[in-house]
Chains A and B, each alone.
Chain A
Amino acid sequence: MKRWETEGIAELADLNLPEEEHLKKGVAIIECIQEIPCNPCVDACPFNAISMENINALPIVDYEKCVGCGKCIEVCPGLAIFVVKIINEKAIIMLPYEFLPLPKEGQKVKALDREGKEICDAVVKKVREGKTNVITIELPAEHAMNARNIRVR
């Protein structure tokens, strides 16, 4: 049994990760690793970068086409999509956030890993309110693949 099946935590080996060059421009990483009947991300992508064989299949991101706009983050019912961009030593992560209070731009928050553990400080760069709010944070590049939530306050 895989860890995600018993604990609900994905490991990097479970994910289909982009190459370094893709991370430089920023791309969507879809942490959707179990077949469920769901496809709004496919319809939401303005660049047709997300494809799915059928409604139960796993979504596949074409990292060449993806520009990291994050439109898919907002519609994903599973809140499973993150946009990650790496510029030198910094990582910029866009993540879904459905809690109150909403952080403010420039505010310092704690970045959390997939287990909800604090891993480092992060700075909020942008707050995009929508169907699901999308928060953009900046943090050290080494945490790019682990920071998946924030704690405000």
Chain B
Amino acid sequence: MRIKEHPILEFKRGKEIYFYYNGKKLKAYEGETIASALHANGIKILSKSAKLARPRGFFCGIGKCSSCLMKVNGIPNVRTCITLVKEGMVVEDDDKDLPSKEYPPCSHKKMKCDIAVVGGGPAGLSAALEASEHADVLLIDENPRLGGQLIKQTHKFFGSENERAGTRGIKIAEELEEEVKNRGIRVLLNTSVIGYYERENHFLACVNKMAGKVYEIEAKKIIFATGAQENMLIFEGNDLPGVYGAGGVQTLMNVYGVKPGERGLIIGAGNVGLILAYQLLQASVNVACIVEAMPKIGGYFVHAAKIRRCGVPIYTRHSIKKAYGDGSVEGAIIAKLDEKWNFIEGSEMDIECDFICLAVGLIPSIRLVAQTGAEISYINEAGGWVALHNEYMETTKEGIYVAGDLANIEEASTAMIEGKIAGLHAAHSIKQIVGFESKIKKYMEELEIFRQGYFGARPKKAKEEIRRRYYEKMGDRRNS
């Protein structure tokens, strides 16, 4: 299952270690997650559903769904997709217990900062870097490393030079991480923000579960850059292990160098599905086909052309009817859709595959920002429920900002600019920054240019609606 050679990536595996899975001793490498290590050992079933004991595998691979929960060193409900495997670790798929009163004791620490940034992806990193020029910043991320979803983007980025076009996402992540280190920004990794509360300032409750550490963070401003999570699709067998979110497969394959299987079926021909197909081919994994319910390919033509000339078919107006297999995916039935989105009888095709990737859109991860009391509103173009915000990325709750995918599903490039805007404005509202106006204007213009073309139309509309509702809510109170 491990990828030995790759045209773009070099996998620097850590020290060989051993851990226990249901009492069985397995090999792993330091620096990889429990779920990746289990996959590398051919174990796709991570747990059983509580009621019907149906097998469960991981889905999102980035700590957002609950599909990979296992008991680790006696601690229940550990998200094994973002928890690093350690020497001698005891991992069990029996995870039906609720935490007992004897929950391991935690150390408690209070921290203070000017600006807390939640989420270390493109938006959060950019926000932290921008803000750190003027303020004391604390960056919190629940993953073992910074970079968010950039760390699995092996393709060269689009856009212009300012947003590092032509540079691969993985390289952008490295560069941003390096800058964070050089600036001496405080970073809490493996740390989940589990709650927000308010006294005279903003407060965040955080926990590093495996280390047994609890933090209380006091901040003058908070920037939420918590990203998004992958949509599920309803079809028979969608809970079989081997039905993954597209991003989850990218993480497994491009970050940890583990193949999801030998032959995949991809649902959704947006950019995520198209890019994933290409990345699978690069990892020497076969792609049976891509199916897309819409009449047109949703992603960039150039991404589609790249995989077409490798011989991968794209079936538009098709969708998945069911996935089948004993314990994990062994195949799938796809079929053609009519004008009313119903399956056309007799058009079924049996697709031979051992895994399925869903690339059917994302929903903004707003649960944390919603706790602050910031006004949340449903905007279809934005991908669902989002926190209303102004052009400075500030929500209706003073001092609470958003940036990136949780503020409207878009691109890493625009997420980075939004992060800069949020970081700059948050810092400026603590202490006036000389040259603030010209700097922020420049960022806003960059954003606008991005949203001008065909693909910019949807995000542009989303942002206009978000702003309209923001000002409707705030009235003139904050217009000045």
Give the residues in chain A near B453, CB-CB below 8 Å: 35-37, 55-56
In contact, B309 and A116 (Cβ under 8 angstroms):
yes
CA A43 to CA B161, docked complex, whole Å: 9
Q: A6-B316, A35-B454, A131-B156 are in contact. Are A112 and B166 (CB under 8 A)?
A: no
Report which residue of A4, A36, A99, A113 has the largest number of chain B beta carbons within 10 angstroms of its beta carbon.
A36
- Also in contact, A116 and B454, with CB within 8 A (given A6-B295, A100-B7): no
Contacts of B456 in A (CB 8 A): 37, 56
State whether A98 and B7 are in contact (beta carbons under 8 Å apart), knowing that A37-B455, A116-B311, A132-B156 are contacts in the complex.
yes
* Closest-CB distance, B438 to chain A (whole angstroms): 21
B134 at the interface (CB under 8 A from A): no
Q: Is B308 located at the chain interface by the 8 A CB criterion?
A: yes
**Contact among A8, A32, A77 with B314 in the assembled complex (CB-CB below 8 Å):** A8
Cα distance, A76 to B306, chains bound together (Å): 12
B158 to chain A, nearest CB (A): 4
Q: Evaluate contact between A8 and B307: CB separation under 8 angstroms.
A: yes
Residue numbers in A under 8 Å from B284 (CB-CB): 100
Find the A residue at minimum CB distance from B303: A78
Among residues 442 to 480 in chain B, which have CB atoms less than 8 Å away from a CB atom of chain A?
449-450, 452-456
**Which residues from B are CB-within-8-Å of A35?**
453-455
B160 and A39 contacting across the interface, CB-CB below 8 Å: yes
B213 lies within 8 A of chain A by Cβ: no
B306 touches A79 (CB 8 A): yes
Write the nearest CB–CB distance from B447 to chain A, whole angstroms.
11
Within 8 Å CB of B449, what residues of A?
37, 54-56
Q: Does B296 contact A (CB under 8 A)?
A: yes
Q: Which residues of A contact B302 (CB under 8 A)?
A: 31-32, 34, 36, 77-80
Quick check: B296 and A56 within 8 Å, CB to CB? Answer: no
- Once bound together, how far apart are the Cα atoms of A7 and B320, in whole Å? 18
For window 146-190 of B, CB contacts with A under 8 Å fall at 155-161, 165-166
CB 8 Å contact bits of B279-302 with A (1 = contact, 0 = none):
001101000000000011100111
Query: With a CB–CB cut-off of 8 A, which chain A residues contact B161?
Result: 40, 43
Q: Is the CB of A77 within 8 A of B296?
A: no
Q: Is the interface of B mostly helix, strand, loop or mixed?
A: loop
Q: Mark A77-112, 1 if CB is under 8 A from B, else 0.
A: 111100000000000000000111010000000001
Which B residues touch A19, using CB under 8 A?
none
Interface residue range, chain B = 35 or more
Q: Give Cα distance in the complex from A148 to B157, angstroms.
A: 22
- Inter-subunit contact B309/A148 (CB<8 Å): yes
Q: What residues of B have a CB within 8 angstroms of the CB of A1 in the complex?
A: 295-296
Residues of B within 8 Å of A75, CB to CB, are 156, 166
Cβ of B305 within 8 Å of any chain A Cβ, yes or no, is yes
In the complex the two chains form, is A114's CB within 8 Å of B309's CB?
yes
| B160 and A55 contact, CB distance less than 8 A | yes
From residue A146, how far is it (CB to closest CB) to chain B in Å? 10
How many A residues face the partner with a CB closer than 8 A? 44
Is A36 touching B282 in the complex (CB atoms < 8 A)?
no
B89 is an interface residue with CB less than 8 A from chain A: no
In this assembly, does A10 line the interface, its C-beta being within 8 Å of a C-beta of chain B? Answer: yes
Closest B residue by C-beta to A44: B166
With A34-B301, A40-B166, A54-B449 known as contacts, the answer to whether A7 contacts B308 (CB < 8 A) is yes
The interface residues of chain A lying within 8 Å CB-to-CB of B309 are: 112-116, 148-149
Tell me which residues across on chain B come within 8 A of A38, comparing CB atoms. Answer: 158-160, 165
CB closest residue in chain A, given B269: A8
B430 CB within 8 Å of chain A: no
Q: Is B454 within 8 A of A100, CB to CB?
A: no
Most B CB within 10 A of own CB, among A37, A40, A54, A131:
A37
Given contacts A75-B166, A149-B309, contact A6 B297 (CB under 8 A): yes
B194 within 8 A of A: no
The distance from the CB of A110 to the nearest CB of chain B, in whole angstroms, is: 11
Determine the chain B residues whose CB is within 8 A of the CB of A37 once the complex forms: 158-160, 413, 449-450, 452-453, 455-456
User: B129 contacts the other chain (Cβ, under 8 Å)?
Assistant: no
A19 to B6, CA, bound (A): 39
Which parts of A101-153 form the interface with B (CB within 8 Å)? 102, 112-117, 131-133, 148-149
A9 interface residue, CB < 8 Å from B?
yes
Does A20 sit at the interface, judged by CB under 8 A?
Answer: no
Give 4 closest A-B pairs by Cβ, nearest first.
A116-B311, A78-B302, A8-B304, A56-B453
Which residues of chain A have a CB within 8 Å of any CB of chain B? 1, 4-10, 31-40, 43-44, 54-56, 75-80, 98-100, 102, 112-117, 131-133, 148-149
Given A34-B454, A37-B449, A78-B306; 8 other pairs, CB 8 A cutoff: A5-B301, A8-B304, A36-B455, A55-B452, A79-B306, A98-B8, A98-B282, A116-B311
A to B CB contacts below 8 Å, 30 in the list = A6-B316, A7-B297, A7-B304, A7-B314, A8-B301, A8-B314, A34-B300, A34-B301, A36-B300, A36-B453, A36-B455, A37-B158, A37-B413, A37-B453, A39-B160, A40-B156, A40-B161, A40-B166, A54-B452, A56-B452, A77-B157, A77-B166, A79-B306, A100-B6, A100-B284, A112-B311, A114-B305, A115-B309, A117-B311, A131-B156
